[in-house]
């Protein structure tokens, strides 16, 4: 009898698998936590193939108000990894059991520091809901990380050593940091980090990822990692955003479009005027630490919207691009 040790690549859980073979035929598979692991192991040792994995990031509002639809999509498209950005309040035990069964859903949990700094922005009781969700996800072995918006008011609370070690203890070992973006007519520009705080964040993220740091948490910064990815990655260069009305937007923070997936294919959306303006303009700054066409290069966004004829697609309230860029 022959034994082979594998790591399942069907989802980020990476279950260690043991496959037993007799005369080239698989007789048993051990270690898988879902049927997909068994199927992967049998195919890998008899007729291996390779696929390119696609990740679909699902944001809101709150995506889990449509839990059943999320599960249906994940089951139908079982060759796609779904990353759900959630406030955690709707994660419960029955849902976790379904996520384990499917094996292709991970979560990015919104959290912003201490109970005080978190609930000040996200509402009373939210911190407790995140703690409960983290405990459930860790219990069920479900992959999850964090989605953290840093502001002028919370930047130290969401990056200090104690907070990072706390996240690791709860089961999160990676996460995305997002600079506060003053999008919307009611935005609060005073929450944008100061230049000094931006410099602190650049240095802090690089320290946390360095060999000098013993905290097993890998942070990624949507704003300050521009130098590693050639500046802005939006506009279809590496990603784009589709809102709940079907509007194809260059970025989750840029609500201007002249393409909708109900009327056009994805390829047609990517060739639409606003996306072509992004293509022609990137990078928007030679300093890749200033990558954003809204935040650091507002004249670029204003020009692209004007030249493309894109319309505001903010579903809450229309905001003229001049107002957005004037902040």
> What's 276-315 look like in SS3?
HHHHHHCCCCCCCCCCCCCCCCHHHHHHHHHHHCCEECCC
Q: What is the pLDDT of residue 50?
A: 67
In this predicted model, what pLDDT tens digit does every residue of 16-49 receive, in sequence order?
Answer: 999 999 988 999 999 998 888 999 999 999 988 7
Domains, in order of start, for the chain: 2-46 (no CATH), 54-224 (3.20.20.70), 241-325 (no CATH)
Residue 51 pLDDT grade (very low, low, confident, very high; cuts 50, 70, 90): low
In this predicted model, what pLDDT tens digit does every residue of 172-229 receive, in sequence order?
Answer: 999 999 999 999 999 999 999 999 999 999 999 999 999 999 999 999 999 999 999 9
In this predicted model, what pLDDT tens digit does every residue of 281-308 receive, in sequence order?
Answer: 999 999 999 999 999 999 999 999 999 9
Q: Which helix (H) or strand (E) holds 3?
A: strand 2-7
**Could you please report the per-residue DSSP string of 157-173?**
TTTSHHHHHHHHHHT--
pTM comes to: 0.79
φ and ψ of 25, to 5 deg:
-105, 140
Q: Under a CB-based contact definition with an 8 Å cutoff, are residues 132 and 144 in contact?
A: no
């Amino acid at each position: 009898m022959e034994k082979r040790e594998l790591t399942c690549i069907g989802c980020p859980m990476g279950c260690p698998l043991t496959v037993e073979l007799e005369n080239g035929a698989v007789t048993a598979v051990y270690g898988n936590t879902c049927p997909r692991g068994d199927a992967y192991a049998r195919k890998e040792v008899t007729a291996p193939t390779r696929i390119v994995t696609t990740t679909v990031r699902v944001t809101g509002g709150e995506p889990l108000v449509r839990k059943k639809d999320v599960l249906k999509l994940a089951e139908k498209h079982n060759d796609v990894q779904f990353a759900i950005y959630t406030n955690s309040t709707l994660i419960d035990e029955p849902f976790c059991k379904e996520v384990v069964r499917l094996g292709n859903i991970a979560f990015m949990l919104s959290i912003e520091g201490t109970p005080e700094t978190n609930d000040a922005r996200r509402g009373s009781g939210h911190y407790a809901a995140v703690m409960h969700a983290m405990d459930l996800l860790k219990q069920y072995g479900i992959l999850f990380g964090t989605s953290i918006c840093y502001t002028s008011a919370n930047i130290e609370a969401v990056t200090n050593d104690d907070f990072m070690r706390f996240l690791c203890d709860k089961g999160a070992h990676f996460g995305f940091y997002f600079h506060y973006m003053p999008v919307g007519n009611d935005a609060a520009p005073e929450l944008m980090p100061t230049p000094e705080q931006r410099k602190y964040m650049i240095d802090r993220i690089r320290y946390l990822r360095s060999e000098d740091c013993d905290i097993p948490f890998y942070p990624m910064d949507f704003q300050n990692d521009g130098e590693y990815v050639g500046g802005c990655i939006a506009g279809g260069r590496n990603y784009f955003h589709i809102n709940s009305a079907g509007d194809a937007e260059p970025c989750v923070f840029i609500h201007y479009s002249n393409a909708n997936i109900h009327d056009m294919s994805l390829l047609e959306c990517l060739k639409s005027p606003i996306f072509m303006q992004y293509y022609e303009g990137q990078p928007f700054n030679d300093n890749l630490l200033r990558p954003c066409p809204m935040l650091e290069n507002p004249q670029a966004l204003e020009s692209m919207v004007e030249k493309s004829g894109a319309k505001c697609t903010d579903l809450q309230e229309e905001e003229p691009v001049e107002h957005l860029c004037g902040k």
